[in-house]
Structure 1
Amino acid sequence: MLKGIDPRLNADVLYVLRAMGHGDALVISDTNFPADSVAQATVHGDLLRMENLTAADAIAAVLSVMPLDTFVDDFAMRMEVVDAPNKIPDVQNEVQAAVNTAEGAERLLLGVERFAFYDLARKSYAVIQTGERRFYGCFILRKGVIGPDA
């Protein structure tokens, strides 16, 4: 246990978050996402797990130590619902709230079509699979920077 570090963040996740650089992308997935096969194509190459958490809890923990990119529109993305891209399921509303809390302002998640999401995920730095069992609990976060005064 470490002081000031969210206990939901395990050593493997902390290692990857620290290793990532500005602009690198992190996938946070639900239990149905093809996380292992996608993770093999990423920079890190191995699947990370936060299995006892919902997507929103995992993202809140990650955002307690990782800033989001403020220079791009795709700072945080959600997988769109098939045939209903504007529908926002409860799991995505919960993640939106976690992002808003971390950012201190409302910054809307960018919707990405399912297969385009898979393609982006394979190009990411790493994949974290959560215990989220609700459909469309898949997200991509882009790492930002911490300024010299922080």
Structure 2
Amino acid sequence: MLRGIPAILSPELLKTLMEMGHGDEIVLADGNFPAASNAQRLIRSDGHTIAALLEAIIPFFPLDYRVERPAVVMALQDGDQQPPVWELYKQTIQSFESDFRDYDYVERFAFYERARNAFAIVATGDRAFKGNLILKKGVVR
């Protein structure tokens, strides 16, 4: 055990976050996301929500300030309402990245393609509508 590391961050996830370099991306995937079939590295985090994982990850994970939108969500389709978790994610991110303004909204199949190229996918049991989130790692300033 280490002090100050949230228990929700498994050794495998913590190791992955440490191995990631500038510009690498990690996907926090909901329970419906095809994580296993798209992942280069798959990390299981069943039973946890993306919001809880994000809250644990973001204090240690600098977002890439050199890109306009270092956090990515799956774009809404006609008739979809904005998921409430997006506002929660935004508030969590802004508590550590004060210059964060908005997401990059990516069409569903383009999101899957981006996920296939991500450094890792964290598979959760989250049931939130359109809960998937991609984070691009930056540098510690």
TM-score normalised by L of structure 2: 0.92
Give the whole-Å Cα distance in 2 for the aligned partners of 1:84 and 1:15. Answer: 40
Quick check: 1:123 aligned with 2:109? no
2:88 aligned partner: 94
Asked if the contact 2:27/2:135 (under 8 Å) is kept, the reply is yes
> Once the two structures are superposed, what CA deviation does each residue of 1:69-97 show, in whole Å capped at 9, x if it has no partner?
10002310111122257x42112221112
Change (3 A) 1:137 1:6: same
1:30 aligned partner: 30
Quick check: 1:113 aligned with 2:107? yes
Q: CA RMSD in A?
A: 1.5
Give the whole-Å Cα distance in 1 for the aligned partners of 2:134 and 2:100. Answer: 17
Gaps of 5+ in 1: none
Quick check: 1:64 aligned with 2:59? yes
TM-score normalised by L of structure 1: 0.87
Change (3 A) 1:122 1:84: farther
Identity of aligned residues (%): 40
Deviation at 1:106, TM superposition (A): 4.2
1:9 aligned partner: 9
> Once the two structures are superposed, what CA deviation does each residue of 1:45-71 show, in whole Å capped at 9, x if it has no partner?
3x1022222111111111121111100
Deviation at 1:128, TM superposition (A): 0.3
Give the whole-Å Cα distance in 1 for the aligned partners of 2:95 and 2:57. Answer: 12
Deviation at 1:137, TM superposition (A): 0.7
Gaps of 5+ in 2: none
> Equivalent residue of 1:102, what SS?
coil
